[in-house]
Amino acid sequence: MKQIVGYLLIICCFPILISLGKQIWKEIDTTNSYEEQIQQQIHLPEITNQLPITMLDKNGKVFNEEYVEWRQPLQLEDIPDTIKQIYLLSEDKEFFTHIGFNLSAITRAIVVNSSQQSSEQGGSTITQQLVRMRYLTEEKTYERKLTELFYAYHLEQIYDKEAILEMYLNEIYFSNQVYGIGAAATYYFQKPLDELSIAQMAFIAAIPNNPSLYDPLRHFEKTKARQERLIDILSENNTISPEEAKQYKSEKITLHVKDKIQKHPAYSTYVLNELKSLIANNENLEEQLHTKTAEDKAKVEEQIDSKLQQLLRKGIIIHTALDPSKQQEDEQQIDSILGLGELQASAVVIDNSTREIVSLYAGKHYKKYDFHRAYQAVRQPGSSFKPLIVYAPLFETTDYTPKSIVSGGHYCIANFCPQNYGGGVYGNVSIATAFRDSYNTSALRLFHLIGLETGFRYIDRFHFESIVQEDRTYAAGLGGLTYGVTTLEMADAYSSFIDGSYERAHSIRKVTDLEGNVLYSWKNERETIWSPHTVNYIRSLLSDVVARGTGKGLWVDSSYIGAKTGTTNDYKDFWLAGLTDEYTAAVWIGYDVPKSMQSMENEKVHFKIFNTIMN
């Protein structure tokens, strides 16, 4: 009896609901601000969720993926008809005829919920479910339901049925942070959707009805039971035959769950950093970062971040120059060389022919997003800076040669009076000797000869991000800087000694969208920094350092090897920068909190690392 009275009360309430609905529609039509709000919340012409970033190594193999939610959206025409039928028949048979909501289904839900004294019976169309997933909450109240109806109707005025179905199939949740039917296929079976069997399609299609209950990693049997119910629905609606239904239900389901690929974190972390630089370069924003005021610079950085976010929403593939076997071997060998304790290192290896970064060492036992010593650690470069700011500019702008004579005696410029290593005082020596044995006083004399402006005119052509106006003193000729340089910047600048040309070293070859269209790439334009005679002189001097000078102990299986060492005050940093026929590299060792390494000077740890990464 009570149930009958309940039904009568519900039916009597319909005129009130209809009247209330008319008043709300009138309010929507007459209130501009509310209309604008609806437009903002509903009229979304593209998916705004972040899609995965995929990184490929030099061989075209995936080595890293960046995502919080696994999404692989598909176009409707690429989604098998079986999937469409499963959802249309099980969720919304009248999808192609209703106006966004189905009054008969809503009535049934109200009656059932009233009799159960709850609001759990569903009457939602596919359009309503899409609205709820994108714009509303999962709160189960009649107020939210009414708003959902209006939004669903409005959505159907904006998009056609096919577009709504496509959005729905790409938005539904498949548990384990997987969204969309395409992503579900690759996550649970590691296959594209169109390569799944009908049994497998029905199995993943079972999950969204209740992603917690039908999570196949925790409740496989429950997922399997719902899969069979969906197959029966296909059979009952003559989409498949009873015999086929029996066959599909008996097919064994074996999951091949996708692991998130995150190899070579030192390299992938740098790639993400370089991506911002690439965007700035291609969008002609890079120069503004160095010439604007702090306030204007912040605005430029906002533009770059906005461009980056646009990329992330669409999903991108980053093609890189990573040599995976070399990266792995270099990391393992350097970790072993450093051993236990707090001693740290960084190293960068650049391919001479392409100027691409093929391996990076960011620190001992590096983990993703840790402090990246290869490009974030700014340290004093010591004498390894001399070839770039003193000797190469000297040969480029004067008629001096390695055989020219320079004094190794005391020399001061104002109050700056550096000493040679060990306090040594020398007479007239050849430039080759001064270079090979790293005489500070000789380098200072030559720097004074060419002048600050000349030396920094060449330094400014490279990408030393932390060199500031205050560095334009003669101390810079010996590597004395306000902040310093990074290992990557040193390797990058030394690559100009390959043949005199310079192209910014890079890890990214190109960035494409998911269809393979190139979005960004470096322009690969080389400029000539050094003339042939300067290159020959510097390469000869670097080679002599290895053969008879401070670089004795370096050995590489190459017809050519040249390098320059660097040691900072109080032995807080040890450097090596140089090149072979194949690679250009820079190595730094030290402590994150600088302290003396004098006691380990003879161990030549940085030599061992250089030999490892260059062989």
Using an 8 Å Cβ cutoff, are 234 and 240 in contact? Answer: yes
Q: pTM for the full model? A: 0.83
Residue scoring higher pLDDT (285 or 135): 285
Domain 334-379+486-614 belongs in CATH node 2.102.10.10: no
Q: Which helix (H) or strand (E) segment is 130 a member of?
A: helix 126-134
Dist. CA 231–CA 240, nearest whole Å: 8
pLDDT tens digits along 359-415:
999 999 999 989 999 999 999 999 999 999 999 999 999 999 999 999 999 999 999
pLDDT value of position 121? 41
The one catalytic residue in 91, 171, 331, 489 is 91
Name the percent of the chain lying above pLDDT 70. 87
The one catalytic residue in 124, 235, 383, 442 is 383
Amino acid at 168: Y
Q: pLDDT class for 353, splitting at 50, 70, 90?
A: very high
Average pLDDT estimate for 118-134: 73
Annotation says 383 is catalytic: yes
pLDDT tens digits along 450-493:
999 999 999 999 999 999 999 999 999 999 999 999 999 999 99
Q: For 527, list phi and psi in degrees, rounded to 5.
A: -115, 150
Indicate the pairing of strand 316-320 with strand 53-56: parallel
Question: How many residues are given for the chain?
Answer: 615
CATH class, 68-250 region:
mainly alpha
Annotation says 171 is catalytic: no
Domain ranges, ordered by start, for the chain: 1-34, 68-250, 334-379+486-614
Q: Which helix (H) or strand (E) segment is 509 a member of?
A: strand 508-512
* CB-facing half-sphere around the CA of 90: CA atoms within 13 A: 23
* CATH topology agreement for domains 68-250 and 334-379+486-614: no
Name the percent of the chain lying above pLDDT 90. 75
